[in-house]
Chains A and B, each alone.
Chain A
Amino acid sequence: MSTSQTSPRAATPTVTEPAARRARSRARLRRRLTPYGFLSPTGVLLIVLMATPIVMVVGYSLMDQVITNKNPAFVGFDNYAEVLSDPVFYTAVRNTLVFTISSVIAHFAIGLGFALMLNSPYLSNRTKAGFRMLYILPWLFTVAIIAVLWRLLLNPNGVINYILGSTGLTDGRTEWLSGTGTALAAVTFINIWSGYPFFMISLLAGLQGIPRDLYEAAKVDGAGVWAQFRNVTLPQLRPIIISMALLDFIWTTQQFALIWMTTGGGPINVTEVLSTFTYKLAFTQYEFSVASASAVLVLLMSMVLAFFYVRHQKARD
């Protein structure tokens, strides 16, 4: 630290004080920047993989004939007007809601039922392990396999029709996936089948975390099975149920592969959902601008759901 040999007392305060201040402020700056440094990889990835495509799609939705035309022109909200004036868009919204709401309710009901069964003290551990494996199976298949499997099962000449026909429940000729009256119900059923294990596993984890003494206290108070379920189990599971339901709602509204591989949105528009509607605009009609507008509308709807999810999570914290 000895910078001067002649008059240390006089020189040191004038030279070192600003330098020390600078060093201190640099250190403060570093301290303040360090967290941003840690965050920067995620930030960069978010910008490259999320923000950029979203901004591009929003930009596309305001232009005319992007991608297929080298010099697209700005058209304002014309593409949005086109999407919103298309009756098929409303059919797709309605179908998406029916598909999603039915799926989420059924996922919850079946998931809870199976989770309660797997958590039951009346079954031996071995039986429970067997059932656990059986119930989780649908979740292990990829969408492509689920689609092929159910297309074969629900084929007019398939196993389901054979069983229903031979037991006399139907005439055995139902066109499950190609009949206008049954297709939406059929794809919803397939989605329910493939998605309930996720609910089941989460609820089972929740059930296993409920303290036994709560049930014992309820029993002491004279509560029966139903009263215990209503006043202990359900309130304890409530945070999990709400989170799962919101997540499932968001995921199911975006279901594309299953519908595309089973019905392709048909017959006519009976199973058209927002994702297939947008895909067709982009990749069969090459209307990338209109498809972008539709995608932005879907994004806005998803953001409303995401808002509720985040608010719920915050409330929990």
Chain B
Amino acid sequence: MSNGARVRRLVAVTGVATLALAGCSSGGTSSSDTATGDGGSGGESVALEFQQWWEPELPDGAFRGLMDKFEEENPGITVELLSGPYSSTKEQVVAGAAAGTMADVVGLDGAWVSDFAKQGAIADLSSIMKDVGYDDSQLASQVQVGGATYMIPVVNFVYPMFTNDALLEKAGVSAPPSTRTEFADAAKKITALDDNTYGWVLPLSLEAPNGVQNDVMSWTWASGGSMLKDGQPALTDNPAVTGTVDYIQGLWDDGVIAPGSFTMKEQDKVEEFTNGRVGMMIDSLAHVNTIREANPDLTFSISAIPAEDGYAGERGIPYASWGIGVAANSAHPAEAFKLIEFLMSESTNSELSSIAHAFPGNTEAVPDFVKDDELFGAAFDIYKAGYPANEFTGLPVAEQLMRDFGEQFQKALDGQQSMQDALTAAQKAWEAEF
């Protein structure tokens, strides 16, 4: 091979290598450009990015329809929806916050707020509301960290008790239980029906540990109890929590809980109930339609979570929210807040809660399904009679707190330690996180 040919080959090879490198680096640049949005140039039109998991969970085109309405009402602002499943939204927001490429408006879960606020990823909405002169009196709740609002719950999904009417009737239980004693009694009767039915289902997977919140702590809140004292963990020397864990231990020892708890997740729980293998579960109203579609023959009722015997106060009902926040690095916080204002307005909030089968975050809004559907009507009554309770919302590393608790709780149920030791160990783990 001649020298000239060698040189040409060398140049070609180096060129390919340079292209590969340029390709990699230009990929990085373009992604950050996109994330900054068109509005960065300060032109007339502002493009907002809205990252959430809501669009895929709503009927096709429903959420886009609401955004189109917003764009009509606010000429010059366009909304680009970045949609993904719930679990990946969180990771994307973490990564986006670290890389400074977060969408302008983000869907939030109450459990994430403290971490994102501490990370400086999401903006202080209190000051934005003050700047734009927003009246927050219609907001049902706000999630605050250090006295400042970081998330506004747009719609809430409550977690009442579901009961399988046919199984209860077969077991000779005339009405859904309303106290712990009645519940334990009903659970025993349902379990006694045959080898494949159980009274209750308790998902305690450590991979998705929200069972600790929805299926364990909910018992404490339903009796007006709390797992915190002055904002600090209070798992020990707390009769409300001790009462709950001892009660569940009792149900466990009686063998009325469906097997497989330690690795069971929320969807497994719903499946067990849908297939008619368990008589009672605590679950999100969001699953009513899923259950109806999967098993149209199943008749079930919704009632408040049973409280301690003799408790007559207001019952806390666990809830999960589709919350909303603004990225701290958004170039258009005022426009971003306009979108929040739109979603929280009485009419939009009613519409969104109607299509999501959730309860509104605006105190004035009333979703249609409450009037049309008996089950949801009953749930709305329970919601109004009690108070939304979810003490994990806004706590630091909320999911890890659930996991810490779940781990100790599993050890106690497994007989490796006493329930008292489990609470002491969980308290210690929680204190370290706080």
The interface of chain A, by Cβ under 8 A from chain B, is 27, 30-31, 33-34, 37-38, 40-41, 43-45, 48, 67-70, 155-157, 173, 175, 177-180, 183, 260, 262-269, 280, 283-286
Contacts and interface: CB of A to CB of B under 8 A. Distances in A.
Contacts of A33: 10
A178 B211 CA distance: 15
Given A41-B16, A286-B94, 6 more contacts: A34-B10, A43-B17, A67-B98, A178-B261, A262-B263, A280-B403
B212 to A, nearest CB: 13
B205 A264 contact: yes
8 contacts: A41-B17, A67-B94, A155-B260, A178-B263, A267-B263, A267-B414, A268-B411, A285-B400
B286 interface: no
Contacts of A284: 397, 399-400, 403
Nearest to A161: B259
Given A41-B17, A260-B207, A268-B410, A177 B7 contact: no
Interface string B335-369: 00000000000000000000000000000000000
- Main SS of chain B's interface residues? helix
Contacts of B118: 68
A286 B115 contact: yes
A33 B7 CA distance: 10
Contacts of A41: 13, 16-17, 20
B205 A30 contact: no
A48 B207 CA distance: 32
A30 B10 CA distance: 8
B263 A266 contact: yes
Contact of B260 (A43, A45, A70, A177): A177
Contacts of B21: 44, 48
A284 B206 CA distance: 11
A173 B119 CA distance: 46
A5 B14 CA distance: 42
B206 A265 contact: yes
A286 B17 contact: no
Contact of B119 (A38, A68, A285): A68
A267 B410 contact: yes
9 tightest A-B contacts by CB?
A264-B207, A267-B262, A156-B259, A178-B262, A40-B17, A266-B206, A178-B263, A37-B13, A67-B98
B10 A173 contact: no
A43 B91 CA distance: 31
B3 interface: yes
Interface string B371-401: 0000000000000000000000000010110
B94 A283 contact: yes
B259 A175 contact: yes
A283 B262 contact: no
Contacts of A177: 260, 263
Given A180-B414, A283-B91, A263 B13 contact: no
Contacts of A156: 258-260
A266 B410 contact: yes
Contacts of B13: 37-38, 40-41
| Chain B interface bracket (under 10, 10 to 19, 20 to 34, 35 or more) | 35 or more
Interface string B1-42: 001001101100110110011001000000000000000000
Contacts of B10: 30, 33-34, 37
Contacts of A266: 205-207, 262-263, 407, 410
Nearest to A165: B195
A226 to B, nearest CB: 44
Contacts of A179: 262
Contacts of A70: 120
B120 A30 contact: no
Contacts of B119: 68-69, 286
B263 A264 contact: yes
B262 A180 contact: yes
Interface centre among A30, A31, A262, A284 (most CB of B within 10 A): A284
A101 to B, nearest CB: 24
Interface centre among B98, B260, B261 (most CB of A within 10 A): B260
A255 B9 CA distance: 42
B353 to A, nearest CB: 30
A268 B414 contact: yes
Given A265-B207, A284-B399, A178 B414 contact: no
B332 interface: no
Contact of A31 (B6, B20, B258): B6
Nearest to A68: B119
B208 interface: yes
B264 interface: yes
Contact of B262 (A40, A175, A260): A175
A285 B397 contact: yes
B277 interface: yes
A280 B196 CA distance: 34
Interface string B91-120: 100100010000000000000000100111
Nearest to B7: A30
Contacts of B16: 41
Contacts of A267: 204, 206, 262-263, 410, 414
B263 A183 contact: yes
A27 B7 CA distance: 9
B94 A175 contact: no
A162 B411 CA distance: 28
Contacts of A173: 259
Contacts of A45: 20
Contacts of A34: 6, 9-10
Nearest to B25: A48
Contacts of B91: 283
Nearest to B272: A157
B430 to A, nearest CB: 13
B202 to A, nearest CB: 11
Contacts of B7: 30
